Amino acid sequence: MTDLATRARTLLDLHTAPEPLVLANVWDVVSATVVAGSPGVRALATASHSIAATFGHEDGEQLPLDVHLDMIARIARAVDLPLSMDMEAGYGDPGETTRRAIGVGVVGGNLEDQLRPLDDAVAAVEAVLRAGRDAGIDFVLNARTDVFLLADAAADRGALVAEAVRRGQAYLAAGAPVVFVPGAGDRAEIAALVDGLGRGRVSLMSVPGVSPSVRELAELGVARVSTGPFTQRVALTALQDAVVELVAGGTLPAGTRSLN
């Protein structure tokens, strides 16, 4: 477990580095090896939506946990970087799911609160962190609150920020190093989240055409920037564009590289 403990400490330290930790989420072995081999990449994170789609399932714990963990194990064996797993809401037992994830080489993970009662959500956070301690590692929990994702389109954005801060403060108090707030979009919202939770405590998802740049997020004090399903969508967009060009009588892109 010493190597895992070292990787966990490395991943934790990356969350307190001067610049944000940027994680281009992966979904299988080849995507993981390509991302891991890219300049500047220091850690990897998986995306549950993308892994589920790979197997023909919807997201939301529709992919059986055994199948999910098998893919995670394959990724962990293929790379030498710290690996964080998107554990969704914990598959009914966040502590046990964390224990099994650590067993296949994971040292960090996302956990959705799905807006459960706060006491229940905090208990889930505590269960994940306890599983890490029991395994002898500082498991790096990216404690996710779904305040923005599950909100009505007409909801007051200021009230959403306040609720995300309230929940996030509880997760930080329980021991989570960062709070993941997907769906927060503009600079004012992000600045308010950082003000409420602290610099180096906020984790965000980069959304094409919506999110500020990583440089801007760094200036705002964001600790971690991930991509969720969007890296897979970037790859699939390139694939579809290439197919359309080829079928229309053209050629495959001249700049295609041998990455596998």
Q: Which residues contact 155 (CB under 8 A, 6 or more apart)?
A: none
Q: Which domain holds residue 66?
A: 2-229
- Residue with tokens 């995300």, as numbered in its chain: 164
Is the residue at 20 inside a domain?
yes
- Pick left, alpha or beta for residue 116 (phi over 0 → left; psi -120 to 50 → alpha; otherwise beta): beta
pLDDT reported for residue 179? 98
Q: Is the CA virtual torsion 72, 74, 76, 81 positive or negative?
A: negative
| Alpha-carbon gap, residue 183 to 201, rounded angstroms | 16
Per-residue pLDDT in tens (0 to 9) along the chain, 260 residues: 569 999 999 999 999 999 999 999 999 999 999 999 999 999 999 999 999 999 999 999 999 999 999 999 999 999 999 999 999 999 999 999 999 999 999 999 999 999 999 999 999 999 999 999 999 999 999 999 999 999 998 999 999 999 999 999 999 999 999 999 999 988 999 999 999 999 999 999 999 999 999 999 999 999 999 999 999 999 999 999 999 999 999 999 999 999 99
Is the residue at 50 inside a domain?
yes
pLDDT reported for residue 16? 92
- Helix, coil or strand: residue 178: strand
The enclosing H or E element of 204 equals strand 202-205
> Which residue from 89, 125, 133 is spatially nearest to 107, judged by alpha carbons?
133
| Alpha-carbon gap, residue 80 to 5, rounded angstroms | 13
Is the residue at 19 inside a domain?
yes
pLDDT reported for residue 2? 66
Is the residue at 102 inside a domain?
yes
| Alpha-carbon gap, residue 139 to 127, rounded angstroms | 11
pLDDT reported for residue 46? 98
pLDDT reported for residue 1? 53
Is the residue at 156 inside a domain?
yes
Domain count, the chain: 1
| Alpha-carbon gap, residue 31 to 54, rounded angstroms | 12
Is the residue at 240 inside a domain?
no
Is the residue at 249 inside a domain?
no
> Which residue from 83, 2, 76 is spatially nearest to 45, judged by alpha carbons?
83
CB atoms near residue 208 (< 10 Å): 10
CATH of the domain at 67: 3.20.20.60
pLDDT reported for residue 185? 83
> Which residue from 94, 138, 99 is spatially nearest to 113, judged by alpha carbons?
94
Is the residue at 258 inside a domain?
no
